[in-house]
Structure 1
Amino acid sequence: MKMNFAITLCLIVFCGLSLAQDEDDATECSPCEPGLCDFLIGFGAMTEKLADSETRLKDTEKQIVELQNKERIKVIFSAAVGVGHKNIGPFNTDPTLIYRRVITNIGGAYSQSTGVFTAPVAGVYYFSFFYHAGGEHPVNLRLYKNNELIVDTSDHQSKEDGADNGGNAVSLQLTQGDRVYIRMAANTHVWGGDLPTTFTGYLVAQM
C-alpha cells in the first residue's frame, strides 16, 4: 500500500511536469526518475512510522493519566469512641464498637453510624486501635476483616490496677468492598471518652 501510494504520487508529479514541458506530447506521461521514486517510497514509509509513533504516544499518555488518577486516591480515617466520660460495657454479646467522634475521614470509607471501614479500592491498608480502660473489668478488643478475626488486644481484670492502656496494629491486603471493624468481646469494657480509645486506618499502596 505504501509503495503504490508513492509510485502513484511519482507518476502524478512527473506527468504534470511532462505536460508542462512539451505541449505536443501532452497525452504522454514520462516515468519518474528512479532516485526520486525511491525518495517518495521512503517518504511514504516514514509517514506511516510517524503515524504509528503518534498512536503509541497517545496510548502512553493515556496510561500516565490513569496512573496519576490512581495515585490521587487518598484513604485516611481516624476516630474516637466519643460517648462522654463513662464506660462502654460490659455486655453479654460481642458488639461492633462504634467510634462516633470522627477526627479524619478522607475518602469517606469509614462509617460513623456503623463503625465499619469499607475499602473503596484494592490495596494494602494499615490499621491501628488503642484503648483506655479501668482495671475493675477485663478488656478485649478484636479487629475483624469481614467475618475473620485478625488481631486483638486484651487485659485481665485486676483489683490493684487502677487503669489500663493497650492496643494493636496490622497491615492488611484488601479487595474493594472488604470490611474492617472492631468488636468488643462479651463481658469486657473500655473507656468511652473523646480522646483515648481510637481506631485508625489508611491506604498504604493501591493494587
Structure 2
Amino acid sequence: MDFEPGCGDNNGNLKPEPKPTNSDPTEGGSGGPASPKPRKTVAFTAKLNICDSYPTHRGILKFANILVNEGDGYSTDTGKFTCSLAGLYHFTLYMSTYGRAQCSILKNGQRVVSAYHTNLPNNCCQVASIGSVIELTKGDHVWVNLWGPTRHDIFATEDNDTVFVGFLLR
C-alpha cells in the first residue's frame, strides 16, 4: 500500500519526511538548508553635550557625543539620521528634564511623535521619552526638533544623559 511521507505504514512504522532541497545559492546553497541572508546593521546612540543643555532655540537638537554609529547614519554636523538601507526603524528620545520641554521626532520634516513636558513641583528632575517605529526608504531623514516659544529644560550632566537612539528592525 502507498502512504504519505511522515505517515505510518500498515505496520505502524513511520516513514521520515523527505528533506527539502533548495537550488537557490543565495538562500543557503544547493540542496542545503536555507540560511538567512546577511543583513547590514544600522544603529546609533548619540548623547547631548553638557554645554548644549537648556537650549533656547527652535529647530534641530544636535547630539554631539556619539556612542554608536554603525552604518554612519547619524551626523553630528546636521543632527539628522539619513537612511542608507530601507526598512522599519525604531527611534527613541530619552531626555532628562527639570521642567518645560517641547520636542518631536520628525521624518522628512513631518512630525511623527511629540512630547510636551511641563514644569514639575519642587523642581525635581525626571526622564521623559518618546519613540516610534518608522518605515524609511533610502535617503529619508529623521531628527529631533524643538518647538515652542521658551527655553527647553532639557539637560545633560555627568550623571544624567539625554540620548537619541535609532536602529534598523528589518
2:94 aligns to what? Answer: 130
Q: Unpaired segments of 5 or more residues in structure 1?
A: 1-55
1: CA distance, partners of 2:101 / 2:151: 5
Q: CA deviation at 1:68?
A: 7.7
Structure 1 or 2: more helix by fraction: 1
1:90 aligns with 2:36: no
Q: CA deviation at 1:111?
A: 0.6
The CA deviation string for residues 32-82 of structure 1, in whole angstroms up to 9 with x for no partner, is xxxxxxxxxxxxxxxxxxxxxxxx94xx214658x9896330001001012
Q: Unpaired segments of 5 or more residues in structure 2?
A: 1-21
Q: CA deviation at 1:158?
A: 4.1
Letter in 2 for 1:78: T
The CA deviation string for residues 171-198 of structure 1, in whole angstroms up to 9 with x for no partner, is 0111111100001123141113365110
Q: 1:83 to 1:70 in 2, by over 3 A?
A: farther
Give the percent of matched residue pairs that are identical in Structure 1 and Structure 2: 23
Number of residue pairs the alignment of both structures matches: 142
2:11 aligns to what? Answer: none
CA contact (8 A) 2:104 2:144 kept: yes
Letter in 1 for 2:102: N
Q: TM-score of the superposition, structure 1-length normalised?
A: 0.61
CA contact (8 A) 2:83 2:137 kept: yes
1: CA distance, partners of 2:48 / 2:86: 27
1:175 aligns to what? Answer: 137
1:147 aligns to what? Answer: 109
Alignment RMSD (CA, Å): 2.5
Structure 1 runs (4+) greater than 3 angstroms displaced = 62-65, 67-70, 192-195
Superposition pairs of residues 1-207 of structure 1, within 5 angstroms = 57=23, 60-62=24-26, 71-84=38-51, 87-91=53-57, 94-135=58-99, 138-158=100-120, 160-186=122-148, 187-189=150-152, 190-193=154-157, 195-205=160-170
CA contact (8 A) 1:98 1:112 kept: yes
2: CA distance, partners of 1:167 / 1:104: 19
Q: 1:167 to 1:63 in 2, by over 3 A?
A: same
SS at match of 1:90: coil
Larger radius of gyration: 1
Q: 1:193 to 1:141 in 2, by over 3 A?
A: farther
CA contact (8 A) 1:83 1:100 kept: no
Q: TM-score of the superposition, structure 2-length normalised?
A: 0.73
